Structure formats: structure tokens, C-alpha cells
Chain A
Amino acid sequence: MVQDDFYKFRGADKYVLDDELAEIVNVSMALEMPLLLKGEPGTGKTMLAYAIAESLGMPLIILNVKSSMKLVDALYQYDTLTRLNDSRFSDSIRDVSNIEEYIKMGKIGQAFVSDTRTVLLIDEIDKADTDFQDDMLDVLDQMEFDIMEIDKTISAKNRPVIIITSNAKKDLSDPFLGRCNFHHIAFPEEDTMRKIIGVHFPDLGREIMDACIKTFYGLRKLEGIEKKPATRELINWIRALKADPDFKLSLLEQGNVPYLGVLYKKSPDMKVANEAIARNRE
């Protein structure tokens, strides 16, 4: 079974996958371990889960972690209010004496009870506190959890492919890390970026691509920027350039950078970039 599954993942239509990452995804699937992805914002951590789901033809379930979240929210919810209401007005089709009818599965629960194997994306795990993280991995390790209200254990029918993302510069706790495979997605090199842009803009001319990428990597090298523009910004920026009928290639070659606001989202960064561009033009 391992061999069949093993070389399945090759990257999806809109996602450019480097070989390293593909190997790590495959090994994590084979070892049945969650894969923890870290990296600069905009390096495609979240997109990877979409790509895996797409290329393996599995449904994707996304758990967006919030700071106030408790683990049980991710597992199941006991809808007490509806039950209270039903018990009072008794006009619903549900059986009030059967608590199970008022249990709704949370995202992790949904992944467990799904009839097919799913991809479970746990996005931005660093937002939650350490207890949440450790407890969640206990559940994911054992692939089962208890619903206290009805004293029933839910076991995973199919072990989901688990992708966890984290933006934090701080490390997660040791027990957590011990149970995951880890990969850090570095910012794409120019060649990889060309491929990424090519996937998103198949009809983009070579000269424009070269000029855009050159300008973009030039801007990324600026010192003193707090939030460097990432892939997402580059894609939006090229989209903006393409939409502008007045845009000419010569503008970029002269050192002008139109739509700087698409690339920089913070005003101090914008200032630094503006100054650098002005210097460049002279």
C-alpha cells in the first residue's frame, strides 16, 4: 500500500512544487505523521495543502486556528441550545432524548468520520496556546477522541493527511515538534519564481517576466524593510501591471516601479522603498 501511495504527490496545476518538498510530503504520508510547515508569509504553506488535496483527489478540510479556540471546538460541538429549544417546543424531527443528534462534528471530527481519506489543514497553529497544540497532537497521534456527553469514542475511519502551518518565529513546544515532520519553505529562488509566475500568467511575455522578476528581487534586497514583498504580492503586482493600459516595459527598465502599494503594505516600508527607487533612477 505504501508503494502505491508513495509517489502519488507530484504537485497540482497552480502550485509549483520543488523536489525536496515533494519528497517530504510523500515521506510524511508514508510515515503517517503530520507535516509542520514554516516559512515566510507568502511562500505557499497554505497553498500546499490545497495542492495536495487537488492532486490526490481528496477532500480538504481546513481548521483555521484562533487564539481563543479550545481543542473540543475542533473536535465536536454539543448543541445544547437547540436541544433545550426542542425539548420545550417539541416540533422538531430530532429525538430530544438522544443526545447524539445534537452532536456536531468540528473540523478534526469531520476528517475522522469522513468515508474517504481527507487532507486536514491546520492553519496557523501558533495562534493557539501550547496546551491546545499538545492536546491536539495527542488526538492526532491516537486518531481517536471521546465525546464525553454520550460516552462514545470516535475513531478515524481513514487517517487524514495532516498539514500544519505556523508563521511564528518562535519554536513550538518540544513534544509537539517531536511528533511532526518539519520543513521550512525558503523563499523561492529566481528560477522557481519564474515557474510560479509562468503557472499563474501563461501568456506573460518573456521580457516583461524578466523585468518584473529583476525589479522584484531587487526590491527584496532592500535593507530595513519589515515586511518584504512575497509571492502573493508579486502575483498581484503583475496582475496590476497587466491591467494598466499605460504600462510599458521601458518604465521598469528606467528604474520606475509603478503600483508600489501592491508590494509594500506598511508605510515605513513604502518610504524606504520609495527612497531607494528614487536613488536608483538618478
Chain B
Amino acid sequence: MFVSFFYNLRDRGIPVTPTSFLRLQRALRMGAIRSLNNFYVVARAVLVKSERYFDIYDQVFAYHFEGVELPDFEDIELSEMAKLLLDEWLKNPEGVAAALGVNEEDLKKLTPEELEQYFLDRIKDQTEAHHGGNKWIGTGGTSPVGHSGVHPGGMRVGGVSQNKSATKVALDRRYRDYSQEGPLTQSQMGEALKKLRRMVPAGPLDMVNVDKTIYQTMKNAGEIEIVFDRRLSDRLKIVLLIDNGGWSMDPYIPLVQTLFDYTRNQFKDLKTYFFHNTIYDRVWADAARYRNSELITDFIKRDPETRIVIVGDASMAPYELMNEGGSIYFGERSRKSSIENLQFLSQTFRHCVWLNPASRYEWSGTWTIDQIRKVFPMFELTLDGLDGAVSHLMSRN
């Protein structure tokens, strides 16, 4: 039963397992599912394991059980176009109404959602060169848009329905918002950075070591000798180097700020430095890059187990990276080229990563990114990227 439904779900990219499908069959056999509405809810709970897929599920369900068309790419484009048209309508209603050849007053009665749907239908009609007069607003109850419309396929679209059918619910596509990845928030960063810790004993002796206690007690011939240990706590040292200068980083500053905020209250031993574009002889502890500077060569005094995290878009003119004295600042005359400084860092510290707020797809176009990737492993500043970076930082070698 419903095998094609199962394959439809799989084809649309929902990871549905056969086990869960069999489980659904069991629920059916047990009589736990009484109606299509019930089936909609139960099948989703059993088959779909993330709210990200709920939207696709809704579409497949509507397609499978009511024969509503699955949107292909063309339709997505069309719906984008309808949205644009809606924006346009808000700015210039007369123009849009005239272009569609309808009365402006009729359109004004619709809610924005209805309008969007209406526009979508209009665009579809026009692309299919199919002008059915009975689809225009105001000509009668057969219009698909509006409160008691009858769709040619027999499907209710929009409007307030008393008996909310499952396919209707599916068609609402309530979960559309969940299918997209949102921006990184502080708590998500925390989620990703949680693994970034190294537990070592520290603090007062306040934890009983049972094994040692038993051993010592036996050694004392049964006279109790309780052995205390220090508690394990996180002593990971982290140096965060942030590119905070230049227009090229401007779009990413909120993102970097979030990471920065988070790291500041997460780690006890965290040093943050700033640089512009790439690292020359010095990095600065103040964001203005003016007062407290530190020589990169002094970093050799630090614990080699320190984790180095560099955040920057790694995009600059090639000479800034490769030339001696390549800094774009007059008065900053470095003896070594920046790439040598970067190599120095990566050789001194075993655990370094470079986080790039720019999307992975934009990397290949930039020459300096390629060069820096030869020195540091580079990760995107996204949840997945952070995950990768953290596991690299915590790996043993």
C-alpha cells in the first residue's frame, strides 16, 4: 500500500527508510489510521524526521492524493515572478491592473496572499497562452482565487474552510519557512562550538576517585582512605584572529560579531586579535588596530597546543599576500611577506583553521584564497563549516 507514495517521497529527496515505511504499514494494520487526514499526520510523524522536509512532504502528499501538480523549476520561477508582481502592485496598482487588463478596484479587495496567488495564476495562464474567461475575478464562483472558489481539479484553494481536509492542510505549505537555512545565531554557534574543549584536571581536590580510594583502602588493610582528585575542566587555549578591516569584510561583520560574542563568553583562555586583509608582522588586540599590537613572531612563546582560529574572507590583491612590505598601510613595512607569516603560524601551532564567511562556491574565483588554503585548512562560516573546523581543531594530529 502506498508504495508509490513512498518512492515519491524518496525521489523528492526526503530520506525515508524502508523500516519506517513498514512501521507505517503496521500502524495501518492496527487500525490506528482512520482517515486521510489522520494518515497525513501519522505518516509524517513516522516517515519524516526533520521539519526541513515537512514542506516537501506537504507537496508530495498533495500531489499523490489529490493529483495536484508538483512544482518544477518553472513554477518556482513563476511564483517568484508573482511575488515581484505583488511588490510592483504595492507601488503602482494602476499600472499593474492596466497591464493585466483588470479593474484595479477588484484587486484591492483581495488580501496579499490571495493577490499573490491570483497573480501566479494570471502568469501561468499567460505563459500557457490559455485564457479562460471564467478564471477572472468577479465573473463568478468558478474563479480559483477567492473564498469559495472551485478549482478545475476540484481542490479548494485558500479561503476559510470548515472541514479542513488533509490535502488542503498540505497545500497550505505551513512549513515552507522551515525548509530554508536561517542565519547563524549565537545559540547555533554555541551548538557547533560545544565540542571545542579539552578537559584537564583543575581547581580544588573535591572529587572522590573511587578506584584509587578502594585501592588505598585495601592497602591500608580496610582502614578507609579516601582519595580526592581535581575536577575536570576546560582549559583549552584559543587565539582568535579576526579580519575586521576593509569593505570586503563589511557584509560579514554581523556574522563575525556573533562568533566573537559567543567565543568571548564561552572560553576562559581566549585571546582575540585583529588584522586587515592578511597578517603581516603585527596583529592588534584592539578593534581599531591602533594601540595594542603584538609581534607575530612573539606568538612562538605561546603553548603550541593553542588553537588558532582565523576569520577572514582571504580576498585581497595578490601582492598584499606575496610581496615583502605588501601591506596597504604606509608605515607598516614588514620584513617578511604575509604568506611567510601565515606559514610561520601554521608551523608553530598544530591546530589552525581559517574560517571564511564567504560561501564555498565563491572561493575558487579568488587567487589569494587558493594560496591561503594551501597553508590553512579553510572552512565556511556556517554550521557545517564550524563543525568541520571544530573536528579539525580537536583532532589528535
Contacts and interface: CB of A to CB of B under 8 A. Distances in A.
**A joins B in a complex:** yes
Interface of A: 2-3, 6, 20, 23-24, 26-28, 30-31, 33, 35-36, 38, 67, 80-81, 84-85, 87-88, 126, 168-171, 174, 177-178, 180-184, 186, 226
Contacts of A88: 217, 222-224
Given A24-B42, A30-B32, A171 B49 contact: yes
B42 A23 contact: yes
Contact of A24 (B30, B41, B192): B41
B31 A3 contact: yes
A31 B24 CA distance: 9
Nearest to A25: B45
Contacts of B94: none
B186 interface: yes
A26 B31 CA distance: 12
Contacts of A84: 213-214, 217, 224
Given A81-B210, A88-B217, 16 more contacts: A24-B41, A24-B42, A27-B27, A27-B33, A30-B30, A31-B27, A33-B23, A84-B214, A88-B222, A168-B191, A169-B191, A170-B188, A170-B191, A178-B17, A181-B45, A226-B186
Given A30-B27, A85-B224, A170-B383, A226 B185 contact: yes
Interface residues of B, number: 42
Nearest to A186: B174
Contact of A2 (B30, B175, B178): B30
A2 B31 contact: yes
A102 to B, nearest CB: 12
Contacts of A30: 27, 30, 32
12 contacts: A23-B38, A24-B41, A24-B45, A27-B42, A30-B32, A33-B23, A81-B213, A88-B222, A126-B191, A170-B188, A178-B19, A186-B175
Contacts of A24: 41-42, 45
Nearest to A29: B32
B45 A183 contact: yes
A3 B213 CA distance: 55
A96 to B, nearest CB: 12
B22 to A, nearest CB: 11
Interface of B: 15, 17, 19-20, 23, 26-27, 30-33, 38, 41-42, 44-46, 48-52, 54, 174-175, 178, 182, 185-186, 188, 191-192, 194, 208, 210, 213-214, 217, 222-224, 383
Nearest to A172: B49
A23 B42 CA distance: 7
Contacts of B52: 171
A87 B214 CA distance: 12
B45 A81 contact: no
Contacts of A178: 17, 19-20, 49
A27 B15 contact: no
Contacts of B20: 178
Given A20-B41, A171-B50, A181-B46, A27 B32 contact: yes
Nearest to A127: B194
Contact of B49 (A23, A168, A170, A177): A177
Nearest to A22: B41
Contacts of B214: 80, 84
A33 B54 CA distance: 20
Contacts of A31: 23, 26-27, 30, 32, 46
A87 B220 CA distance: 14
B228 to A, nearest CB: 12
A180 B47 CA distance: 10
Contacts of A20: 41
Among the interface residues B33, B44, B49, B383, which one has the most CB atoms of the partner chain A within 10 A?
B49
B157 to A, nearest CB: 19
Contacts of A126: 191
A131 to B, nearest CB: 13
Nearest to A174: B15
Contacts of A80: 210, 214
Count chain B CB atoms within 10 A of each CB in A84, A178, A182, A183 and give the residue with the most.
Answer: A182
Contact of A27 (B46, B48, B50, B188): B46
A270 to B, nearest CB: 15
Nearest to B52: A171
Contacts of A169: 182, 188, 191, 383
B295 to A, nearest CB: 35
A215 to B, nearest CB: 21
Contacts of B208: 81
A165 to B, nearest CB: 14
B196 to A, nearest CB: 13
B92 to A, nearest CB: 25
Contact of A6 (B32, B41, B191): B32
Contacts of A38: 51
A36 B19 CA distance: 17
A53 B72 CA distance: 45
A35 B23 CA distance: 14
A109 B146 CA distance: 57
A233 B191 CA distance: 23
B365 to A, nearest CB: 30
Nearest to A168: B191
Contacts of B30: 2, 30-31
Nearest to B186: A226
Which residue, of B45, B50, B54, has the highest number of chain A Cβ atoms within 10 A?
B45
Contacts of A35: 45
Contacts of B26: 31
Contacts of A182: 45, 48-50
Contacts of B185: 226
A105 B174 CA distance: 43
Contacts of A171: 49-50, 52
Contacts of B42: 23-24, 27
B383 A184 contact: no
Contacts of A186: 174-175
A138 to B, nearest CB: 15
A281 B32 CA distance: 53
